Amino acid sequence: MRTKAAIESIYGDIARQNGVTADEVKEEIRNALNMGIHSSDPEAKEFWKKITTDVENPTIDDIILYIVSGLTQNV
Protein backbone atom coordinates (compact mmCIF):
# COMPACT_ATOMS: atom_id res chain seq x y z
CA MET A 1 0.00 0.00 0.00
CA ARG A 2 1.18 3.50 -0.74
CA THR A 3 2.16 5.77 2.11
CA LYS A 4 1.55 9.47 2.54
CA ALA A 5 5.25 10.05 1.78
CA ALA A 6 4.82 8.24 -1.54
CA ILE A 7 1.75 10.34 -2.31
CA GLU A 8 3.75 13.53 -1.63
CA SER A 9 6.42 12.31 -4.03
CA ILE A 10 3.77 11.69 -6.68
CA TYR A 11 2.44 15.26 -6.27
CA GLY A 12 5.96 16.50 -6.98
CA ASP A 13 6.29 14.28 -10.05
CA ILE A 14 2.96 15.47 -11.45
CA ALA A 15 3.89 19.09 -10.71
CA ARG A 16 7.22 18.83 -12.54
CA GLN A 17 5.58 17.17 -15.55
CA ASN A 18 3.04 19.98 -15.77
CA GLY A 19 5.21 22.97 -14.88
CA VAL A 20 3.28 23.79 -11.70
CA THR A 21 3.88 23.44 -7.97
CA ALA A 22 2.93 20.46 -5.83
CA ASP A 23 0.54 22.76 -3.96
CA GLU A 24 -1.23 23.58 -7.24
CA VAL A 25 -1.57 19.86 -7.98
CA LYS A 26 -3.05 19.27 -4.52
CA GLU A 27 -5.48 22.17 -5.00
CA GLU A 28 -6.70 20.80 -8.33
CA ILE A 29 -7.18 17.36 -6.81
CA ARG A 30 -8.95 18.89 -3.80
CA ASN A 31 -11.30 20.79 -6.15
CA ALA A 32 -12.10 17.61 -8.10
CA LEU A 33 -12.72 15.65 -4.91
CA ASN A 34 -14.98 18.40 -3.55
CA MET A 35 -17.04 18.20 -6.74
CA GLY A 36 -17.43 14.47 -6.13
CA ILE A 37 -18.23 14.90 -2.45
CA HIS A 38 -20.99 17.40 -3.24
CA SER A 39 -22.38 15.45 -6.19
CA SER A 40 -26.10 14.70 -6.21
CA ASP A 41 -25.46 11.35 -7.92
CA PRO A 42 -26.68 8.52 -5.63
CA GLU A 43 -23.68 6.29 -6.42
CA ALA A 44 -21.28 9.11 -5.63
CA LYS A 45 -23.07 9.78 -2.33
CA GLU A 46 -22.72 6.11 -1.34
CA PHE A 47 -19.03 6.13 -2.24
CA TRP A 48 -18.32 9.23 -0.13
CA LYS A 49 -20.32 7.85 2.80
CA LYS A 50 -17.95 4.88 2.92
CA ILE A 51 -14.89 7.10 3.03
CA THR A 52 -16.19 9.54 5.63
CA THR A 53 -17.20 6.74 7.99
CA ASP A 54 -13.63 5.42 7.92
CA VAL A 55 -12.16 8.85 8.63
CA GLU A 56 -14.28 11.67 10.04
CA ASN A 57 -12.60 14.49 8.08
CA PRO A 58 -10.52 12.82 5.37
CA THR A 59 -7.63 14.69 3.81
CA ILE A 60 -6.94 14.36 0.10
CA ASP A 61 -4.16 11.93 1.00
CA ASP A 62 -6.62 9.82 3.04
CA ILE A 63 -9.03 9.74 0.10
CA ILE A 64 -6.33 8.80 -2.40
CA LEU A 65 -5.02 6.04 -0.13
CA TYR A 66 -8.58 4.74 0.35
CA ILE A 67 -9.19 4.64 -3.41
CA VAL A 68 -5.82 3.03 -4.15
CA SER A 69 -6.35 0.35 -1.50
CA GLY A 70 -9.73 -0.46 -3.05
CA LEU A 71 -8.23 -0.68 -6.52
CA THR A 72 -5.38 -2.93 -5.44
CA GLN A 73 -7.82 -5.29 -3.70
CA ASN A 74 -9.72 -5.69 -6.97
CA VAL A 75 -6.65 -6.54 -9.09
Please report, for the chain, the start and end positions of each structural domain, with discontinuous segments joined by +.
Answer: 4-73
Higher pLDDT pick, 29 / 68? 29
At 37, the pLDDT band (50, 70, 90 cuts) reads confident
Q: What is the pTM of this model?
A: 0.72
- Residue 22 CA to residue 14 CA, distance in Å, equals 8
Report the SS3 class of residue 34: helix
Distances (CA, A) of 52 to 13, 57, 62: 28, 7, 10
**Predicted local distance difference test score (pLDDT) of residue 1:** 44
**Predicted local distance difference test score (pLDDT) of residue 63:** 83
- Residue 60 CA to residue 26 CA, distance in Å, equals 8
Higher pLDDT pick, 37 / 28? 28
Strongest mean pLDDT among 11-20, 34-43, 49-58: 11-20
**Predicted local distance difference test score (pLDDT) of residue 36:** 86
Contact by Cβ (8 Å): 68, 1: yes
